[in-house]
Amino acid sequence: MKISSFYHLLPRTMVKGDIIPLKVTEKSHWNDREPYQAPESASLNFAKALELALEKVNDQQVHAETLQQKWVADPKSVQPHTVMIAMKKAEMSLTFTKTVADLSVRSYKELVNLR
């Protein structure tokens, strides 16, 4: 049996999934269409998303500190539970960010040290 007979096993309407960019060197594999090219800005989008996430963590830290200072200066202007919730949110986001950073560094080291 020829391998080409498996090419049309399922109709295209039933096949779904993500676009996976593969390096195709043979033009006959393209089926008369151009291969998918990933946008060059994909790494910039990831960097921007990372920057926005870090800014959000920083904003939560600043907000919690501002509420603490308000609470110390004028205790009746801010509810104590509001201060505690903001502090806990800031602490949790910072802990999560540190964990993600540590895991990223550990993963990078493991990839570099592959044998």
Structural domain spans, the chain: 52-112
- The span from the CA of 61 to the CA of 94, in Å, is 8
| Amino acid 6: pLDDT | 44
- The span from the CA of 80 to the CA of 70, in Å, is 11
| Amino acid 49: pLDDT | 82
| Amino acid 55: pLDDT | 94
3-state SS, residue 72: helix
Answer with the residue of higher pLDDT: 84 or 108. Answer: 84
**Whole-model pTM?**
0.57
Are the beta carbons of 84 and 67 closer than 8 angstroms? no
Query: Between 80-112 and 42-73, two packed helices, what is the crossing angle to 10 degrees?
Result: 150
pLDDT above 90 for 50:
no
Sign of CA dihedral 74, 77, 80, 84: negative
